[in-house]
């Protein structure tokens, strides 16, 4: 049986790291949109546009974090997305908790 050399795995790791580095700023922007929603909730009012932007950002994070080896990040982002759906009552303390968890997961990959 002919086995692939370890260089294929190393090349894939290098490619994923390069993609992570390229897209890190975008990930931070998406986190900021969720932070904005969390701050508005803490202040007592979450406007529709901020909520929609944060829900979309969480959706995108949920979709990409697993690719970068952060499946727990995808799971947390999915919870955030669901909590920001228009038909859901927003829970500020829960959102803040999930946001902090998501930030820590993303920081662990950097």
Taking the CA atoms of the chain, what radius of gyration do you get in angstroms? 16
Q: What value does the mean pLDDT take over residues 17-45?
A: 95
Question: How high is the pLDDT of residue 5?
Answer: 56
- Position 86 pLDDT exceeds 70: yes
pLDDT band at 37 (very low <50, low <70, confident <90, very high): very high
Cβ-count burial 36-66 (b if 16+ within 10 Å, e if not)? bbbebbeeeebeeebbebbbebbbbbbebbe
Indicate the average pLDDT of the chain: 92
Q: What value does the mean pLDDT take over residues 53-69?
A: 96
Domain-wise residue ranges, the chain: 11-109
CATH H superfamily, domain 11-109: HPT domain (1.20.120.160)
């Amino acid at each position: 049986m002919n086995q692939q050399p370890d260089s294929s795995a190393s090349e894939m790791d290098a490619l994923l790291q390069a993609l992570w580095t390229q897209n890190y700023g975008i990930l931070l922007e998406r986190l900021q949109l969720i932070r904005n929603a969390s701050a508005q909730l803490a202040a007592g009012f979450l406007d529709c546009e901020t909520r929609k932007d944060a829900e979309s950002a969480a959706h995108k994070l949920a979709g990409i974090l697993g690719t970068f080896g952060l499946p727990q990040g995808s799971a947390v982002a999915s919870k955030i997305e669901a909590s920001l759906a228009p038909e859901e009552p927003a829970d500020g303390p829960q959102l803040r908790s999930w946001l902090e968890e998501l930030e820590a997961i993303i920081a662990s990959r950097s």
